[in-house]
Each structure stands twice: as C-alpha cells, then as structure tokens.
Amino acid sequence: MQTLSLNDKNYIIDSIRNISNYPKPGIEFKDITTLLGNPDVFHFLLDHLTSRYESYGLDYIAGIESRGFIFGAALAARLRTRFVPIRKPGKLPYTTISEKYSLEYGVDEVEIHIDAFSHGIKDPKVLLIDDLIATGGTANASVNLINKTGSKCIEVCFIINLVSLRGDEEIKEHTPVYSVLETR
C-alpha cells in the first residue's frame, strides 16, 4: 500500500475534524485528535506509512514537537528503528544543538540532543515526520538540524500538507517531501 487511492485518502480525511477560526479568525484548523481517536483509521494510516518506509533502511525517525512525536514514535516502533524527538528550546535534559528559523514576527528554534544520532551508525539515514506543514519554518529548520549532525534526512513526511501556503517548496529544494494528504 505504498500509494493511496482517492477513497483511501478520503477515509483518512473524513476522520479529521475541521475547526473554523481557530486559533484565530480565518484559520481552518485540522484537528488530528479525531484521527488518533479512531483506531481503525490510525491503524490504516500506520499500515500505509509502514508499507512506504519499510524498504528505506531507516536508522532513525525524528518527530517534530509535539504531534510529530505521535506519528514518529508509532512508526519507529512498527519499523523497529530508533525515534528522536525534535523539541522547542529548554525541553531536553542533556546537551543540545539547535537551529533557529524565522517567523512572521520574530525567531524561533528547535533542538535535539547532541548525541541523538550517535549509536555507532555511519552516515545515519533519518526520516523526519510531522502531522502538518503550513509555512514550513519548523520543518525546514528540523531538516537543517538533522543534517548539521552529520546524519542525512532522506525524506520529510507530513500527514497533511496545506498546499496553498507552499511550505514544502523550500524543503523540496534539498530533501524529498511526501504528504499523505494535500489540502488547502
């Protein structure tokens, strides 16, 4: 099941609740808690992701805080590989490295442990995963952070890509991107 039919995609889309004007007016929020609360759909999605990535020879799956943790850890367990959390500053207890990125009105940052990818694996292959891509700042910084460690982010996976915001375009310049669902 490496590709999904339109019916398969609609099955997943129908499990996601849309909330208008959240967190601010004009935003149509994609609430994945309803997908997570539906064991049949969640299992179906994980089957798809497992099928897609089982031949990639992944050494790690990195998930972006916080919903990327859910999908990343579940997929890593299925693929019997390691999971690495990418966090906001100050959340990790050991020495970290970080990557800053621009926001509309300021700067933010993501971090990982300095030894996150150091389990004796030469040139580790990493899949980065998150629930949704909008403008792409966090995801692009996360790819840069992974590559800064000497690891190779071989693909970035999003459950939902808000294509009208074009957040995946900068990432695609240097790393393949796969989106399970594309919506506006």
- C-alpha to C-alpha distance for 172 and 89, rounded to whole angstroms: 26
Q: Is residue 21, in this structure, part of any structural domain at all?
A: no
Written as one string, the DSSP assignment of 145-171 is HHHHTT-EEEEEEEEEEEGGG-TTHHH
Question: Does 30 score more than 70 pLDDT?
Answer: yes
Q: For the whole prediction, is pTM greater than 0.85?
A: yes
Q: Is residue 158, in this structure, part of any structural domain at all?
A: yes
Split into its structural domains, the chain has a count of 1
What is the residue whose two structure tokens read 């999904």?
Answer: 4
Residue type, 159: I
Please write the tens of the pLDDT for every residue from 117-128.
998 999 999 999
- pLDDT band per the 50, 70, 90 thresholds, residue 1: low
Q: Is residue 104, in this structure, part of any structural domain at all?
A: yes
Task: Give, as one character, the DSSP assignment of residue 134.
Answer: S
Please write the tens of the pLDDT for every residue from 44-85.
999 999 999 999 999 999 999 999 999 999 999 999 999 999
Q: Is residue 160, in this structure, part of any structural domain at all?
A: yes
- C-alpha to C-alpha distance for 87 and 33, rounded to whole angstroms: 20
Domain of 105 in residue numbering reads as: 57-183
Cα Rg of the chain, angstroms? 16
What's the CATH code of the domain at 174? 3.40.50.2020
The arithmetic mean of pLDDT across residues 82-92, rounded, is: 97
Q: Is residue 1, in this structure, part of any structural domain at all?
A: no
Q: Which of 60, 46, 76, 82 is nearest to 159 (CA)?
A: 46
In the predicted model, what is the mean pLDDT of the chain? 96
Q: Is residue 25, in this structure, part of any structural domain at all?
A: no
